[in-house]
């Protein structure tokens, strides 16, 4: 799985664009992962939306993850699911999805990260790194020092999330993460394709420079 540019859909801030429209534009701009996140949409509507997004990601060879809603992920045969600390337990999700699917876990502390690794998580979402308004219940910004501390404590892929944009991208990548998850810097942009492409190009440039 290529975690480089992990885009999370959010219809609340997409200026009228649907999850499908956001995903389609993000893929055209070079997104390497698409996550569907909508905690309010009815299950029947979410299944329809996710099936359409999954078709697009399949064509592009990009991973499709569903946030939180494990049964939806199973219904559409998504590549995996992402769980927060308050969501369904890892063990229950694994039983529903089977051993082949990807399960990511959100973590804000070293302890949470280690517990997720011990439980069998495939990757970690660490954040919020910077202040963010996209997720109202997000905790206090962790900052780069905490991100580095968590990175050193685990040996599975890490995706940083929360307030990440073109201006702070380099210091996040320098912390040793495998990718960045972006919402508002792409989803709220007037031109999603262009916003994605700029981030993707910068990520590739920074990573090349490091090697």
Q: Which active-site residues does the annotation give?
A: 37, 106, 135
Q: Which ranges in the chain belong to alpha helices (H)?
A: 19-28, 43-60, 70-76, 90-97, 110-119, 143-153, 169-174, 184-187, 192-210
User: CA-to-CA distance for 124 and 6, rounded, in angstroms?
Assistant: 12
Residue 27 has, within 13 A of its CA and on its CB side, a CA count of 20
Ramachandran quadrant class, 120 (left: phi over 0; alpha: psi -120 to 50; beta: rest): left
Whether the link from the prior residue into 128 is cis, omega within 30° of 0, is yes
């Amino acid at each position: 799985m290529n975690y480089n540019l992990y885009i999370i859909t959010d219809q609340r801030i997409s200026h009228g664009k649907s999850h499908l429209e956001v995903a389609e534009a993000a893929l055209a701009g070079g997104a390497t992962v698409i996550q569907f996140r909508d905690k309010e949409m009815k299950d029947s509507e979410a299944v329809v939306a996710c099936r359409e997004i999954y078709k697009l990601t399949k064509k592009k060879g990009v991973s499709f993850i569903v946030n939180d809603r494990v049964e939806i992920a199973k219904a559409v045969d998504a590549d995996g699911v992402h769980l927060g600390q308050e969501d369904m337990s890892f063990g229950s999700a694994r039983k529903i999805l089977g051993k082949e699917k990807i399960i990511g876990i959100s973590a804000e502390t070293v302890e949470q990260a280690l517990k997720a690794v011990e439980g069998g998580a495939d990757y970690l979402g660490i954040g919020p790194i910077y202040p963010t308004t996209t997720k109202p219940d997000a905790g206090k910004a962790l900052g780069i020092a905490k991100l580095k501390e968590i990175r050193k404590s685990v040996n599975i892929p890490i995706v940083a999330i929360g307030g990440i944009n073109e201006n702070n991208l380099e210091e996040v990548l320098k912390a040793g993460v495998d990718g960045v998850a972006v919402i508002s810097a792409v989803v709220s942009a007037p031109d999603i394709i262009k916003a994605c492409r700029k981030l993707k190009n910068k990520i590739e440039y920074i990573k090349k420079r490091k090697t």
